[in-house]
Amino acid sequence: MIINTGGRTDTVQYYTEWLLNRFSEGYVLSRNPLFPHKVIRYELNPDTVDCVVFCSKNYEPILSRLHEITDRFSTYFYYTITAYGKDMEPGVPEIEESMETLIRLSEMVGKQRIGWRYDPVMLTETYTLERHRETFESMAKALSPHIDRCIFSFVETHTRGTSRKRLENNVPGFIPLLRKDREALAQELGRIAEKYGIYLQTCGAGEDYSAWNIHSSGCMTLDILGNANQISFKNLKHKGARQGCHCIESRDIGAYDTCLNGCKYCYANRNPRKVLENYQSHDKASPLLTGEIRPGDTIIQGLQKSFKVQAGREEGQG
């Protein structure tokens, strides 16, 4: 089983002690976002977790204690650093600070375990094609020696909580991406990545950009996680989390409407007031990220099936 710590919220940045406590105590509870009275328990130990996947926009809060997890578990780290400033990502550090933190993280865990995410890519009156080109090249030059790959995606207008109308309301000067815009951006990113020897891939894209040396693959596959940690995984079909996604299934231990980054394009937060309420109900000692077990809740043991090749079995069996 793959544990995902950051698909629903930036757990690393805002809930660091809680996250470390959960791995220390060896289990976590996660409330089902579709069925709120259903709470799932996952055991957090190396026998039941194949790999712990981190996703964050700021690893600084956890660096000094990250070894508490990396000493025991196989890991992979997605670090999102974009071209946007405080106008778009109010709670995210400045680009230079973020790159410095990524380099420190890379020195700790190894470049083979770090995927730089440059997404979502969108156009506005401020963040033009030229702005993306200049910023991406500056970042690629600095980060290329410290990363396994770079993943990018174009902003979506049909995911949970995200729509074109919402983006137009939230993002100053938002410009809808036409196909020609996506191709022009992809061509520039591909050219720059090739220049600096970066393996560049899309995430959930429905269009083919291979002409510009851009690979189409899941951003969280058993190949990526296995190669980073010298693990032999079974040859399994990757179901993905949504249409067009080619990632291996994982279990997210975070919660929606809890991230304080305040990104204008965010799909995981629907109501800023709800985010603050949830944050205030957070207890670092609780097995749940926010709130507590309520009357009527049912706690269910989550299915934790290993994807690893078992000794004595052929790959693809079991």
For the stretch 137-160, pLDDT in tens is 999 999 999 999 999 999 876 554
> Which of 316 and 165 is assigned the larger pLDDT?
165
Find the mean pLDDT for residues 216-226. Answer: 88
Distances (CA, A) of 229 to 67, 68, 185, 222, 303: 15, 17, 32, 10, 23
Find the mean pLDDT for residues 5-17. Answer: 96
What amino acid is encoded at 63 in this protein? L
Residues 214/191, Cβ–Cβ less than 8 Å: no
Banded model confidence at residue 15, pLDDT cuts 50, 70, 90? very high
- Give yes or no for residue 314 having a pLDDT over 50: no
Average pLDDT, the chain: 91
> Which of 198 and 169 is assigned the larger pLDDT?
198
> Which of 271 and 146 is assigned the larger pLDDT?
146
Find the mean pLDDT for residues 38-54. Answer: 97
Banded model confidence at residue 172, pLDDT cuts 50, 70, 90? confident
- Give yes or no for residue 11 having a pLDDT over 60: yes
Residues 200/190, Cβ–Cβ less than 8 Å: yes
Distance CA 190, CA 198 (A): 9
Question: For residue 100, which of 63, 153, 130 has the smallest C-alpha distance?
Answer: 63
For residue 149, list its beta bridge partners. Answer: 115
- Give yes or no for residue 170 having a pLDDT over 80: yes
Which range (74-78, 94-98, 244-248, 267-271) has the least confidence? 244-248
Find the mean pLDDT for residues 193-204. Answer: 93
At CA 44, angle to CA 118 and CA 57, rounded to 5? 20
> Which of 208 and 317 is assigned the larger pLDDT?
208
Residues 192/137, Cβ–Cβ less than 8 Å: yes
Find the mean pLDDT for residues 97-115. Answer: 98
Banded model confidence at residue 62, pLDDT cuts 50, 70, 90? very high
Helix axes 95-109, 129-143, angle to 10 degrees: 30
Residues 8/256, Cβ–Cβ less than 8 Å: yes
- Give yes or no for residue 311 having a pLDDT over 60: no
Residue entry with tokens 């994807």: 307
In the prediction, which pLDDT does 5 show?
A: 96
Find the mean pLDDT for residues 132-136. Answer: 98
* Percentage of residues of the chain with pLDDT beyond 90: 81
* Percentage of residues of the chain with pLDDT beyond 70: 92
In the prediction, which pLDDT does 318 show?
A: 34
DSSP 124-150: ESSS-HHHHHHHHHHHHHHHGGG-SEE
Burial of 237 (0-12, 13-18, 19+ CB in 10 A): exposed
Distance CA 191, CA 90 (A): 30
- Give yes or no for residue 187 having a pLDDT over 70: yes
Distances (CA, A) of 88 to 105, 122, 178, 316: 25, 11, 21, 44
Residue 182 host element (H or E)? helix 179-195
- Give yes or no for residue 50 having a pLDDT over 80: yes
165 Cβ contact partners less than 8 Å away, ≥ 6 residues apart: none
In the prediction, which pLDDT does 165 show?
A: 79
Residue 188 host element (H or E)? helix 179-195
Find the mean pLDDT for residues 223-239. Answer: 90
Find the mean pLDDT for residues 298-310. Answer: 93
Find the mean pLDDT for residues 227-247. Answer: 78
- Give yes or no for residue 238 having a pLDDT over 80: no
